[in-house]
Amino acid sequence: GRPMVELGLFFDEAAYKLFSPFFKNDDVKLKNMLLAYINGVQALYHHPSAGTKIDLMLTHLEIFKTQPSDLPHYAGERSNLLDSFCVYNEKHNPPGDKDPKHWDMGLYISGLDFYAVENGKKSGVTMGLATVGGVCQAKYACVIAEFGVTNILGKPYPSAGFTSVYVLAHEMGHNLGMHHDSSSNSCPKDGFIMSPSRG
């Protein structure tokens, strides 16, 4: 059969507060939006250009109306947030692939504007982060991705709207072992899922 990646999806408090009003606090509609989001990523992993089609299966979906105390978000500072989620993900994931509740990769979908501090300055260009090839080890099988985020001027990032699908597919690609296009490979730098500008 085709390779399958089982996913655990965690929708953070910031994202819940951002999206819930659009759905008049109807959590069923919110879940349907998240399923549509994952279906969009699934379509990309079934694209003929991928060579091998990869099936995605959601085995766990959790919406945080309040942020768990054991999952600090560091206001979106990307390195600390990824580390924090990776610890949380491993702690709450049932070990062993035989457990039907187990997932291979944890996804932290966030309404925070991720940032890094570079040369003492805050840079908000990051839209997601994942360890390359991390899916093979429980403590690195974790991805963080922005969802529906706007910059300080209220302008949407590519992590808002339909293009959010590409951002998550990109970060999941890293976790599955893919590097950026044009980085130690002959792929064109722009125009594809693993383009450096996608994440």
Assign 5 to helix, strand or coil. Answer: strand
Annotated binding site: 170, 174, 180
Q: Burial level of 147, CB count in 10 A (0-12/13-18/19+)?
A: buried
Is there a catalytic annotation at residue 90? no
Annotated binding site for Zn(2+): 170, 174, 180
Q: 6, 13, 146, 171: which one is catalytic?
A: 171
Helices 164-175 and 27-45, axial angle in degrees (round to 10): 60
Q: Could you tell me the CA-to-CA distances from 161 to 46, 64, 90, 144, 165 in Å, in that order?
A: 21, 21, 29, 17, 8
Between CA 28 and CA 194 the distance in angstroms is: 32
- The neighbouring-strand residues paired with 117 are 122
Q: Burial level of 49, CB count in 10 A (0-12/13-18/19+)?
A: exposed
* Catalytic residue IDs: 171
